[in-house]
Structure 1
Amino acid sequence: MVATLPETDRRYAWKVTASSFLGNTLEYYDFLVYGTAAAVVFPKVFFPDASGFVGTLSAFGTFAVGFLARPLGGLFFGSRGDRHGRKSTLMITLTVMGLSTILIGLLPSYGTIGIWAPILLVVLRLLQGFAVGGEWGGSMIIVLESAPPNRRGFFSAWPNTGGFSAQILITLIFAYVYTLPDDQLLAWGWRIPFLLSAAVLVVTFWMRRTLRETPVFTEAVAAASAAGDGGEAAAKPDRPARGPIRSIFVDDWRNLLLIIGLRFAEALPYFLLTVFALSYGTGTLGLQKGQLNNAILVAAVLSFVSHGVFAAISDRIGRRPVYFFGAVVVFVMAFPFFFMLRSGSMVLIVLGYVLVLNLGHNAINAIQPAFFAELFPADRRYTGAAAGREIASIFAGGLTPFVATALAGSDGSRWPLVAAYVMVGALITMVAVYKAPESFRRDLSVTGTTVR
């Protein structure tokens, strides 16, 4: 029988959701504040000897480095979470992630310590990525396993709006930072957003420490103990006992490949619009930074509505139809978005952001936590969902600003290649959705039976 929350404990489910929302806000804040700084400030602060184009590529290269560490973090923290618990693992990822971001804000510039500045930047970015690799999977799963079975998509969608709440914070903070004179911006102004992450870290740490383990994990531990497994992750009786990491590559490799394909139509447009477009729009098209920040802000605010709507629909008709719809929108909007961006019209720019992010990306992002986690059994769910998503992050996320910048060229004239790049990614996701099983009625417990 599936472990579920009684009706009187719905308040706790919302508490878990709120703590995961804050954790993911910090996760995305850390990563996106880096991306924003990489697009606007880092070429001059950490790579001053490079030309404008090469400096931008170098800054986006360090942005991508963080994604290289994320799969390792997903495997390490996922395995720990499946064996020793979701809560304690999330306390570790939160601490490492937050401190790494604060330390980036304290780094001396290239002009102060020379080559050590970009080296230390890369090291901290790797630590940041390693922790983030375990944060998303754990925070989503602790919500999923604590929510009512028939509303898993709805509850788990809210933490995944952390990217947009973080974007709102970043946009508002940089709206002030951008008003500083260039010398002050490069000297100390860019550090403000990094240091302010400490506030989110403290609040999230306080909330998370009061949580308890999920009913599903508790049931898995009990089942493993009954089987004489020493209290670790429960093994299914029809397969040899092995750890979560080995299991996902041996038993669940098809699901890992599916997740990689499923991420392209979500990650490509997100990092294209929130990172690459900032550099391309201001450097190539001559747009004001405030214009793009305002467009992102509008889409970020609307994302809370769209996430709730798409997630609720997926709880009724399934994950696959909603996911496929989002991929189609991303495919169709690839070229129109660039036409809107290049028009210079604020109305068209905002409309482009809303159509791509709120109608396309959000349809995917809202149900991704539930869809990914439901593909794996309880004893390796954290490992599978986290590792799959973070392996995909290398190809579909972290490299996007770098690849898009290289494709567009130094003068930005090859932008159609960037649009085609997004379309190919959306096609890959459509194929993955077609191949993926429907999962919204699956039981998350050890037994894995279907629920209604």
Structure 2
Amino acid sequence: MTVTDVQPKDRVKAFTASLTGTALEWYDFAIYSSAAALIFPRLFFPSSDPMTGILLAFATYAVGYVARPLGAIIFGRLGDKVGRKQVLVATLVLIGLSTFVIGLLPTYETIGVAAPIGLVLLRLAQGIGVGGELGVAVLYSNENGDSARRGFWSSASQIGPALGNLLANLSLTILSSIMTDEVFFAWGWRIAFLVSVILVAFGLVIRVRLEDTAISRAIQNEGLQPVAPLRDVFRYEWRGLIAAAFARIGPDVTYALFAVFIYTYSTLVLEFPRQQVLIAVMVGSVCQIIFVPLAGALSDKMNRRLLFALAALAAAIWPFLFFPLISSGSMLALVAGVASGLTIHSFMYGPQGAFITEQFSPRVRATGSSMGFALGSTFGGAIAPLAFAALFDGFKIWVPVAIYVAIACAVSIVGMIIGRNYQPQEDEELLGAATSKVEAQA
């Protein structure tokens, strides 16, 4: 078998490894996101004003996003220099251990200000791990898939966040349903964080058995590892980096509205029970698990950038319909509204992985993709929940929040305009040269 051959079973293995690993890591990240809205303001940021506690909790949520560029620099560089597989193992361990320790962390009542400081440091470690995981996990399934279906194969790691979010919300729903509020806030919430160590162990069993991608092996065999991949990205592939980062902003802000801020708005403003909001987000997550791969596959049949742009336009409009819809206080309206929002998000998120990796040449693709994901997340998902809370607290109406989402989606549309379509000749030339070398040595 030559380096250009990827057997169907290996493609499925790569898809599964990317999906399960990212889902487990995103469970860790999502359990924190949900807790930042529902639990941490009370336990780690006590205040006489509930909104102040929420703002502080969302600030620690943002730290996980702000740390992503650092993770992208560290792990993206390693992905280009030593290979994709090693990075996938390291990021899984880092995120899993950070989440497990959060489950052991004493609260403000026990150790005072050291509690929120510890929470911020652990969230920082989570963010560094996710910053490395995002680009490389997409790249692993992408480079193991066939070139005609890159949208579908790249969607593996894009399904992961939805599945992880579903597991996170399901665990919190079950725990809060079988426990009194007193028990849940005393220690019950910790279970959702502690079980992550079991999930991570499962993910490691899958990832340590992987082989690296053919493209990564070809780079190693040809001695084409970049000396300074980050410098090369900023010097030679800056347009792709801007397009990738812009593409990330709209989806991240949309997700922050329908999977994070919705907890605060629905429980505090509209007075929905916590369990109803968790159910709404879980239904939306199921929709994403279905529609993300479908959207990725659809982007292989039509222009990927056009599909993404149309979805971004729909995402810009939907919040202006969503907030009046749920103001009735109907649980059915809440579920339908959140599910619709996350379904629209899926048609940006499904093609996103392929689009971002396609912006970079093979030698710096891990660094470029990781930086694109991380920078977009920092300017998109990091500040969105905090901005939503501040805007609503300042204006007392939802309209500024909807405008914020619309602007973010407009930025992503600009990313589609300046981005490029897939350049298959770049991979073919690299793999062809490696194959010729192997045949000559045989």
TM-score range, shorter chain: over 0.9
Number of the residue aligned with 1:218: 217
Give yes or no for contact 1:77–1:134 (8 Å, CA) kept in 2: yes
Pick aligned residue for 1:375 from 356, 359, 370: 359
Number of the residue aligned with 1:233: 225
**Does 1:320 pair with 2:312?**
no
Pick aligned residue for 1:289 from 254, 269, 274: 274
CA distance in 2, matches of 1:157, 1:104: 30
Offset at residue 447 of structure 1 (A):
4.2
Pick aligned residue for 1:413 from 391, 396, 410: 396
Partner AA of 1:80 in structure 2: L
Q: Given the superposition, is the C-alpha separation of residues 177 and 197 from structure 1 closer, same or farther in structure 2, using an over 3 Å criterion?
A: same
Pick aligned residue for 1:60 from 43, 58, 61: 58
Q: Given the superposition, is the C-alpha separation of residues 19 and 427 from structure 1 closer, same or farther in structure 2, using an over 3 Å criterion?
A: same
Partner AA of 2:405 in structure 1: V
Offset at residue 445 of structure 1 (A):
4.8
Offset at residue 305 of structure 1 (A):
2.3
- Counterpart mapping for 1:181-330 below 5 A: 181-224=180-223, 233=225, 242-330=227-315
**Does 1:5 pair with 2:5?**
yes
Number of the residue aligned with 2:388: 404
Offset at residue 354 of structure 1 (A):
2.5
Partner AA of 1:413 in structure 2: K
Offset at residue 435 of structure 1 (A):
1.9
**Does 1:426 pair with 2:409?**
yes
CA distance in 2, matches of 1:348, 1:429: 28
Give yes or no for contact 2:169–2:278 (8 Å, CA) kept in 1: yes
Partner AA of 2:292 in structure 1: H
Offset at residue 446 of structure 1 (A):
5.4
Where structure 1 has 5 or more consecutive residues not aligned to the other structure, the ranges are 225-231, 235-241
Number of the residue aligned with 1:228: none
Per-residue deviation, residues 387-419 of structure 1 (Å, max 9, x unmatched): 111111111001111000000017x72211000
SS at structure 1 position matched to 2:390: helix
Q: Given the superposition, is the C-alpha separation of residues 131 and 50 from structure 1 closer, same or farther in structure 2, using an over 3 Å criterion?
A: farther
**Does 1:71 pair with 2:55?**
no
Deviates further, 431-440 or 139-148 = 431-440
- Counterpart mapping for 1:340-355 below 5 A: 340-355=325-340
Offset at residue 307 of structure 1 (A):
1.7
Q: Given the superposition, is the C-alpha separation of residues 448 and 316 from structure 1 closer, same or farther in structure 2, using an over 3 Å criterion?
A: farther
Offset at residue 344 of structure 1 (A):
1.5
Q: Given the superposition, is the C-alpha separation of residues 113 and 135 from structure 1 closer, same or farther in structure 2, using an over 3 Å criterion?
A: same
Give yes or no for contact 1:174–1:193 (8 Å, CA) kept in 2: yes
CA distance in 2, matches of 1:38, 1:415: 20
Per-residue deviation, residues 397-450 of structure 1 (Å, max 9, x unmatched): 01111000000017x72211000100111111112212222227564355499x
Give yes or no for contact 1:315–1:440 (8 Å, CA) kept in 2: no
Q: RMSD of aligned C-alpha atoms?
A: 1.8
CA distance in 1, matches of 2:293, 2:23: 17
Number of the residue aligned with 2:124: 126
Partner AA of 1:207 in structure 2: I
SS at structure 1 position matched to 2:144: coil
TM-score (norm 2): 0.93
Offset at residue 222 of structure 1 (A):
2.1
CA distance in 2, matches of 1:288, 1:5: 53
Deviates further, 260-269 or 62-71 = 260-269
Offset at residue 348 of structure 1 (A):
2.0
Identical-residue share of aligned pairs (%): 34
Number of the residue aligned with 1:91: 89
Offset at residue 351 of structure 1 (A):
2.1
CA distance in 1, matches of 2:376, 2:274: 30
Number of the residue aligned with 1:171: 169
Q: Given the superposition, is the C-alpha separation of residues 448 and 345 from structure 1 closer, same or farther in structure 2, using an over 3 Å criterion?
A: farther
Partner AA of 2:265 in structure 1: Y
Partner AA of 1:401 in structure 2: P
Pick aligned residue for 1:439 from 422, 426, 430: 422
Offset at residue 159 of structure 1 (A):
2.2
Partner AA of 1:220 in structure 2: I
Partner AA of 1:286 in structure 2: E
Number of the residue aligned with 2:438: none
- Count how many residue pairs are aligned between Structure 1 and Structure 2: 430
Give yes or no for contact 2:94–2:125 (8 Å, CA) kept in 1: yes
Per-residue deviation, residues 215-249 of structure 1 (Å, max 9, x unmatched): 0111112222xxxxxxx515xxxxxxx41011111
CA distance in 2, matches of 1:408, 1:335: 15
Per-residue deviation, residues 339-381 of structure 1 (Å, max 9, x unmatched): 12222222222222232211x2101111111110111111110
CA distance in 1, matches of 2:230, 2:281: 37
Offset at residue 182 of structure 1 (A):
2.2
Number of the residue aligned with 1:229: none
- Counterpart mapping for 1:152-171 below 5 A: 152-171=150-169
CA distance in 2, matches of 1:160, 1:136: 9
CA distance in 1, matches of 2:426, 2:232: 20
CA distance in 2, matches of 1:144, 1:123: 32
CA distance in 1, matches of 2:423, 2:12: 20
